[in-house]
């Protein structure tokens, strides 16, 4: 009897847990699903009440954006700006991160603090001086300025992440290589670097994501020709009339690659988003 009762209780608990989780999933996913569905509807079909979940999808909104609008150009701008800052951050961050991990630098706590507060600087506060400096050098509206702006948060991030990845490697193999005559740089390049490759890729994807998802910097620093897709998305709803169909399609294009890339490195996601505090 007693055993039966316990089992019933267990089943009830399981059902409750799964129900609660299902509700949470619906809350998390419904807006995303609704956005993707809406982007596949005709502008008239989007607003039918009650809302339709089953309908004949059309790619006409996407076709229109690429054929009639400058959407391809905006996509290109986003890729160049996010990509360049990622390459710069990874390159400098990997060398620097290795040096920080292996070198005997005093005051690591202070370096940590400087790097983290740089990474976490409020965007609004960073925009003001960067705007003045860019204005002096005629960089407002240029992709170069935007890349510099993105590097202000991606470089400290990459430096910090790569330091934590290198610091986790036992240095023995590098020492052995150096005893065998390799220079310190060769030990880094041939022994340490290949071992942190997954971490390097994850860091790169997160840098790409931070820059790709930015709106505030791009809205101030880009001009008509250099506008990124988040800015294009915002203009769709702030100009006369709201083109919700295009806005939803643009939103889908913005998040889809990041979902795929992000899930590919999900093992490192928490580590990246917590600045290495949680592994």
Binding residues among 166-225 for other proteins as defined by CB under 8 A:
167-168, 171, 175, 178-179, 183-185, 188, 209, 212-216, 219-220
Residues of this chain, 106-125, that bind other proteins according to CB under 8 A: 108-109, 112-113, 115-118, 120-125
Nearest CB to other proteins, comparing residues 80 and 235: 235
Does 79 bind other proteins (CB under 8 A)? Our answer is no
Residues in binding contact with other proteins, number by CB under 8 A: 105
Binds other proteins (CB under 8 A): choice among 32, 79, 87, 173: 32
Closest CA relative to residue 235, chosen from 221, 215, 258: 215
Q: In angstroms, what is the C-alpha Rg of the chain?
A: 24
Q: Is 1 in the site for other proteins (CB under 8 A)?
A: no
Residue 73 contacts residue 143 (beta carbons within 8 Å): no
In the chain, the largest separation of any two C-alpha atoms, in whole Å, equals: 83
Distance from C-alpha of 79 to C-alpha of 143, rounded to nearest angstrom: 11
CA 254 to chain centre: 11
- State which of residues 74, 102, 191, 226 lies at the interface with other proteins (CB under 8 A): 102
Please report whether residue 38 would count as binding other proteins according to CB under 8 A: yes
Collapse the DSSP code of 222 into the 3-class scheme (helix H, G, I; strand E, B; otherwise coil) and give the result: strand
**Residue of 26, 30, 34 lying closest to 252 (CA atoms):** 34
Q: How far apart are CA 225 and CA 43, in angstroms?
A: 27
Angle between helices 71-102 and 197-212 (to 10 degrees): 140
Q: How many CB atoms sit inside 10 A of residue 186's CB? A: 13
100 lines the binding site for other proteins (CB under 8 A): yes
Examine residue 29 and tell whether it contacts other proteins (CB under 8 A).
yes
Give the interface segment with other proteins, choosing from 15-23, 63-71, 137-145, 193-201 (CB under 8 A): 15-23
Q: By the 8 A CB rule, do 237 and 249 touch?
A: no
Site for other proteins in 217-276 (CB under 8 A): 219-220, 230, 233-234, 237, 244, 247-248, 251, 254-255, 258-259, 262-263, 266, 269-270, 273-276
Q: Which of 92, 173, 193, 201 binds other proteins (CB under 8 A)?
A: 92
Determine, following the binding rule CB under 8 A, whether residue 152 of this chain makes contact with other proteins. yes
Among 74, 98, 221, 268, binds other proteins (CB under 8 A): 98
* Binding status of residue 58 toward other proteins by CB under 8 A: no
């Amino acid at each position: 009897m007693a055993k039966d009762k316990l089992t019933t209780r267990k089943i009830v608990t399981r059902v409750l847990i799964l129900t609660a989780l299902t509700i949470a999933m619906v809350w998390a996913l419904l807006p995303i699903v609704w956005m993707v569905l809406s982007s596949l509807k005709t502008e008239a079909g989007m607003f039918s009440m009650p809302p339709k979940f089953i309908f004949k999808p059309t790619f006409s909104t996407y076709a229109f954006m690429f054929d009639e609008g400058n959407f391809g150009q905006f996509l290109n701008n986003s890729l160049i700006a996010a990509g360049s800052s990622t390459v710069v951050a990874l390159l400098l961050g990997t060398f620097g991160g290795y040096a920080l991990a292996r070198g005997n630098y005093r005051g690591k706590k202070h370096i940590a603090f400087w790097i983290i507060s740089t990474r976490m600087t409020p965007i609004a506060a960073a925009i003001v001086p960067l705007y003045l400096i860019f204005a002096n050098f005629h960089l407002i509206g240029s992709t170069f300025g935007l890349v510099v702006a993105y590097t202000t948060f991606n470089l400290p991030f990459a430096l910090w992440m790569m330091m934590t990845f290198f610091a986790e490697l036992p240095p023995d193999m590098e020492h052995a290589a150096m005893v065998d005559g390799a220079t310190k740089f060769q030990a880094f390049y041939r022994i340490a670097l290949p071992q942190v490759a997954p971490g390097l890729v994850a860091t790169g994807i997160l840098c790409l994501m931070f820059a790709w998802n930015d709106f505030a910097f791009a809205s101030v620093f880009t001009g008509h020709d250099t506008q990124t897709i988040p800015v294009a998305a915002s203009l769709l709803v702030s100009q006369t009339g709201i083109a919700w169909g295009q806005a939803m399609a643009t939103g889908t294009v913005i998040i889809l690659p990041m979902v795929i890339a992000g899930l590919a490195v999900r093992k490192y996601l928490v580590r990246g988003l917590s600045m290495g505090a949680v592994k």
